[in-house]
């Protein structure tokens, strides 16, 4: 099994970033991919002008690629903020302002997975207060996702790179998923299983797959160490993807790795030749 029948989607917020945002969907299509995903593209605003949303939708449609996943507004990402929904004050208000904007955009392009990064701990604020705010905002996001036929994703990051982010293990993220589903009764919250982050946390990936595939709504990969393409580190993705298949996962696998100094389009040689996307033209 291994890579067989795995459906890969390219994260355009980490790959093809040498190009302007509106040129990335076409670049992914030219590399042979039919699906892409994005972090919230407008890091400075949760509510971009409608013309900007329309331009991105048109770029996706013109390229003939499907947007399979989108982050809600999460502050300066990449960067130190790592989420907004559990941060009292302006940041959580910006998250709420973004919820329907992101959900409506997702609906307009057929995107069925919305990722909500939890948010960092804040000095001087009781973690219990942040967790209460997070659950409230995640419930709002889950209802918006349900309105447009999408799932809400909750992601664990890694402690070394995001030391103030509280969800740095699979069990911690899954516990939040369960709380959101209990709060809303919708059962549309799911775990985002990012194998790079979990590996950085020192978790047993085979155990994570065995325990949590049933509540997983999306998978992302990058090798460790280095967060490069598969084959640049120590993770055995043939085995890991095989285990995911055997555990019943048949969703998209997001390529969320850093291309290094090479052009993004040249970083897909790790795929077995029969499965490698064929460049257009």
What is the per-residue pLDDT across 180-225, written as a single tens digit (0 to 9) for each?
A: 999 999 999 999 999 999 999 999 999 999 999 999 999 999 999 9
Distance CA 29, CA 33 (A): 5
**pTM summary value:** 0.95
Distance CA 168, CA 107 (A): 30
What is the per-residue pLDDT across 246-279, written as a single tens digit (0 to 9) for each?
A: 999 999 999 999 999 999 999 998 886 545 555 5
Find the mean pLDDT for residues 111-117. Answer: 98
Active site members: 155, 256
Give percent of the chain above pLDDT 90: 89
Q: Going by C-beta distance under 8 Å and a sequence separation of 6 or more, which residues neighbour residue 119?
A: 74, 75, 81, 82, 83, 84, 85, 86, 87, 91, 92, 130, 134, 165
Give percent of the chain above pLDDT 70: 94
Distance CA 96, CA 73 (A): 9
Domain ranges for the chain, please list them. 7-275
Distance CA 107, CA 148 (A): 6
Model pLDDT, residue 281: 43
Biggest CA–CA distance in the chain, Å, is: 57
CATH number assigned to the domain with residue range 7-275, chosen from the 4 options 3.50.50.60, 3.90.180.10, 3.20.20.150, 3.40.50.970: 3.20.20.150
For 281, counting Cβ atoms within 10 Å of its Cβ (0-12 exposed, 13-18 middle, 19+ buried), the class is exposed
């Amino acid at each position: 099994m291994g890579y067989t029948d795995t459906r890969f989607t390219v994260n355009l917020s980490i790959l093809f970033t040498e190009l302007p945002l509106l040129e990335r969907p076409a670049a992914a299509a030219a590399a042979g991919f039919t699906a892409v995903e994005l972090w919230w593209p407008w890091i400075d605003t949760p509510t971009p002008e409608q013309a900007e949303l329309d331009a991105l939708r048109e770029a996706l449609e013109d390229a003939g690629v499907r947007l399979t996943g989108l982050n809600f507004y999460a502050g300066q990402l990449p960067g130190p903020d790592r989420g907004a929904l559990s941060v009292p004050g302006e940041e959580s208000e910006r998250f709420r302002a973004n919820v329907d904007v992101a959900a409506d955009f997702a609906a307009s392009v057929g995107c069925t997975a919305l990722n909500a990064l939890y948010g960092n701990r804040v000095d001087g604020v009781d973690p219990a207060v942040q967790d209460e705010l997070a659950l409230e905002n995640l419930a709002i996001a889950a209802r918006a996702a349900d309105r447009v036929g999408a799932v809400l994703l909750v992601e664990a990051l890694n402690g070394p790179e995001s030391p103030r982010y509280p969800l740095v293990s699979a069990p911690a993220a899954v516990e939040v998923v369960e709380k959101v589903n209990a709060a809303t009764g919708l059962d549309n919250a799911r775990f985002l299983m990012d194998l790079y982050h979990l590996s950085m946390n020192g978790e047993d990936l085979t155990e994570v797959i065995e325990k949590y595939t049933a509540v997983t709504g999306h998978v992302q990969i990058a090798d460790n160490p280095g967060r490069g393409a598969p084959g640049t580190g120590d993770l055995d993705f043939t085995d890991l993807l095989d285990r995911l298949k055997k555990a019943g996962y048949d969703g998209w696998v997001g390529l969320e790795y850093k291309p290094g100094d090479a052009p993004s389009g040249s970083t897909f040689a790790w795929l077995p030749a029969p499965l490698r996307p064929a460049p257009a033209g």
